[in-house]
Structures are given as structure tokens and as C-alpha cells.
Amino acid sequence: MSEPLRVGIAGLGTVGVGVVKILTQNADIITARAGRPIEIVAVSARSKGTDRGVDLSSYDWVDNTADLAAHENVDVVVELIGGSEGVAADLVNAAINNSRHVVTANKALVAHHGYDLALQAESKGVSLAYEAAVAGGIPIIKAMREGFAANNIHSVYGILNGTCNYILTMMRETGRDFDDVLQEAQDLGYAESDPTFDIEGIDAAHKLCILTSIAFGVKPDFDAMKIQGISHVNATDIAYATEFGYRIKLLGIARRVNGKIMQILEPCLVPINSPMGIIDDVYNAVYAEGDFVETPLLTGKGAGEGPTASSVVSDIIDIARGFKVPTFGIPAMELSDASWIDLGETRARYYLRLSVIDQPGVVADISAILKEQKISIEGMVQRARAPGQAVPIVLTLHDSRHENVVNAVEAIEKLSVCNEKPCLMRIEEI
């Protein structure tokens, strides 16, 4: 039997405890599959005295997390602290510089610093593995880097945040508005006490940034992404989307358009019975389209102790086997600077909800603005109310240039009868 692979774990929250459970409870099968034992030798967290429901007494307790990077008995540092800066970043940098392999679930760190870390790891001959950083237990990183390695990838897109998907699902099923459902999600533990990263799309955008890099062989560039969360979506939008035959989903989309790359994270309408439309609750789903593979769908829970810890351990097993691939699928030095498309040049169909004062000529004024921008109306719903009251007007627009649609919406918003910021969302037939 080969020498054990020795692991040090930094961060003993939900996922860290899950990793301890898997490595101890499934030790025999993991040893058989890895070809050698995998042993936890050291751990580190904020508080030593916290009861975490697992026995940590046989492991070295490292008070200063940074010291784990140079621990003499550690071959692999597992970083489960989180955050793109601070302790997590310092630990990963130090571990790589000390020729330790790194396994992380930290999507923010990889999205913001992945390129530099990949250069360091590859120069040191160690792995920087992050399967758990994207979509929890869904093995999308392995699929993109290995399973689809023979393909030119045309696009990758998906539902990448379970909290947002849960909120949108419950809004649809109950008719309640955003704030009410968000509070429920927090009470159930699906949303953090500060849910900003989830509901404003930042968490999902970090994941999409990583997928974009692997799919197209470009350096991760989080700042190049257009990001919009779901806090502006209300029960009215959910109901009208259903009436038009759609579901609203927070989608991350990266695709080639006219030789350039589009990278956006925003709520979109998708057909009710489409593979994306039927993904509900806290589930994630990811598609990848290649030139020699039909659009495979990978779906599952995107967070939680079991799914995320399972992905962490899968990376540790790869390291134990001696299996190593470049961090982003090709050597980091060969990653290129992406050529990003101007979103104004892209075309799509759109959903547009307006709130206007019901008075003669309003629809004519709106139609005139759309005509001026060369935008054709596909469908319209207007509910009757007493004259002078605010009334929603909901439009679906034929395929139109994005810049024209934005110009039209800005002009409509300036009308004296428009009493609320318009809600504009893409319609994606995926």
C-alpha cells in the first residue's frame, strides 16, 4: 500500500465538517478508489472549543491558520474559509509557495485571483483544485475540463444559485412577493442573514466567471461581467411570465457571439417546460454546448454539507491518484485575454413590464417610442382599471438589438405617466 496522502483542513463550518465525516466514514472505499489511504492530520478554525458533532481529537489543532501552509505533515491544504481576500487568500498563496496541493470551495478566490494562483501552482507542480466552488455536488468542473475536452465549447449557461432559485420558485407557487419569500428562505437557512451575495447575483457570477474561463480558454475576468440580481422581480412579473408561458430564472450565460464572448448574469424568462424551466427549489443546473456533444444537462443541489463536501473529497482523491490537469483546462500561461462583446450589439427577445397612469394616448406614446427604436411588439397584456390609476402594461418584444431596447426603456421611463422603473428581462429559448 502506498504512503497515505495527508490532509490539513482550514475551516470547520458546514462543509469542513462534511469533509471530515466523508473521509472518516468512507475511509475504506476512498482508499480503494484512491489507491492509497487519505488521512486528516491537522485542522484549523476560529474556535477550538466549539462542538461540531465530529471527533477532532486525533488531529493537530493549528491555532494560526496560516501555519497550516507549512505544516510538516500536510501534503494537501483544504481551504474552506471563504472570501477573495484575507486569511483564505494568504493561506492558499502560502500553501502553493510551500509546494502543497490546494483544494478549495472558494469561488470568489478563484474568480478574482485564479489566474495568478494557477500560474503559481503550475510552476510549483502542484494542484489547485476547486470542483466544489461551482454548483456544489454537480461535477461541472470535471465535465468541462475533462469530459468535454475534445470540443469547441459554444456556450455554457445555467442556474447557479440555489437560494435565488428557491425564492423564485416559492414566489411562483405561493403568489407572495420577494421580501416575504426572502424572509422565509432566511428562516429555513437557505439564505444568509445578509443575503446580498446571493440575491444580487454576485455568488452566481463568481461561478459563471470560472466556467467562462474553462469553456473559452480565457483569463477569469469578473469585472467584465454584467450582473443583475433578482431583488427587482415581483409577484406581478412571476404571474405574467407564467401567462406568457415562461418561468423566471436567474441565469448565468457565457456564449460566443460573432467571434466574441458574451458573459452575463441576470434574471431571464425561459419556457415553462424547457429543461431549465422545470428546475425548481434549491437545485442548480448547468448546460454546456460543444461542437461534438449535444447539450448535456447536469443538475443537483448546489450547496450544503453533503454535496459540497463530496466535491471537495473528489478533488482530494484525484490528488491521491496523482491525477492532475491544468487549473483552467489549458496551461495558465496559454490563457488569453478575452474579447468581450459590447452587449449593446447583442440581440434577444425581451419581456418588458411598465407601470403607467391609465389615460388616453399612453399606449400610443409607448408604441411610438418602440417604433422609433425599430422594436416590434410580439404580445401585450393590459388589465383594465379606473382612469387615472396606475396600471401594469406587459409587453413581449420580438428579437431586437439590446442597445435599441435600452434606449426605448429609458425614453419610456421619462414619460410623465410612467410612475415606476420599468422591469426588463431577456427571453431565452433554452
CA 7 to CA 60: how far, in whole Å? 11
Report d(CA 235, CA 202) in Å as an integer: 23
| CA 277 to each of CA 59, 70, 253, 331: distance values in angstroms, whole numbers, following the listed order | 46, 48, 15, 36
Contact call for residues 313 and 22 (beta carbons, < 8 A): yes
Provide CATH 3.30.360.10 ranges for the chain.
Answer: 140-301
What gap in Å lies between CA 327 and CA 324, rounded to an integer? Answer: 9
Q: Going by C-beta distance under 8 Å and a sequence separation of 6 or more, which residues neighbour residue 209?
A: 111, 220, 221, 222, 225, 263
Q: Considering the chain, what is the average pLDDT of its residues?
A: 94
Lookup: cell for 317: 482523491
The burial of 403, by beta-carbon neighbours within 10 Å (0-12 exposed, 13-18 middle, 19 or more buried), is given as: middle
296 vs 252, 277, 286, 290, CA distance in Å?
16, 15, 8, 9
Binned at pLDDT 50, 70 and 90, residue 394 comes out as very high
Beta bridge partners of 257: 260
How many Å apart are CA 43 and CA 62, to the nearest integer?
6
Residue intervals in the chain for CATH 3.40.50.720 = 5-133+307-329
Q: Which residue has the higher pLDDT, 341 or 384?
A: 341
Task: Tell me which of 387 and 178 has the higher pLDDT.
Answer: 178
Q: Catalytic pick from 107, 124, 207, 260?
A: 207
Give domain 140-301's CATH superfamily.
Dihydrodipicolinate Reductase; domain 2 (3.30.360.10)
Q: Which residue has the higher pLDDT, 42 or 135?
A: 42
Q: Look at 189-193, 288-292, 306-310, 339-343 and tell me which has the smallest mean pLDDT.
A: 189-193
Tell me if 120 sits within 8 A of 93, measured CB to CB. Answer: yes
Name the amino acid, one letter, at 86: G
User: Does the pLDDT of residue 146 top 60, yes or no?
Assistant: yes
d(CA 143, CA 382) in angstroms, rounded, equals 46
Helix, strand and coil percent figures for the chain, each rounded to 5: 40, 25, 35
CA distance 284 to 108: 18
145: which strand partners?
none
Short-list 331, 127, 122, CA closest to 217: 331
- What is the rounded CA–CA span in Å between residue 154 and residue 212? 11
Asked whether the beta carbons of 302 and 282 are under 8 A apart, the reply is yes
Is residue 295 predicted with pLDDT exceeding 80?
no
pLDDT at 386: 63
Does the pLDDT value for residue 1 go beyond 60?
A: no
Residue type, 124: K
Split at pLDDT 50, 70, 90, the class of 156 is very high
pLDDT at position 270 = 98
- Topology of domain 5-133+307-329, CATH: Rossmann fold (3.40.50)
Return the closest-CA partner of residue 93 out of 108, 105, 109: 109
Task: With beta carbons less than 8 A apart as the criterion, state whether 238 and 209 touch.
Answer: no
Full 3-state SS string of 17-47: HHHHHHHHHCHHHHHHHHCCCEEEEEEECCC
315 has pLDDT over 60:
yes
Which pLDDT band holds residue 309 (cuts at 50, 70, 90)? very high
pTM of the model as a whole: 0.94
Q: How far apart are the first and last CA of the chain?
A: 49
The domain 344-427: what is its CATH number? Answer: 3.30.70.260
Neighbours of 416 (CB within 10 A): 9
Would you call 207 a catalytic residue per the annotation?
yes
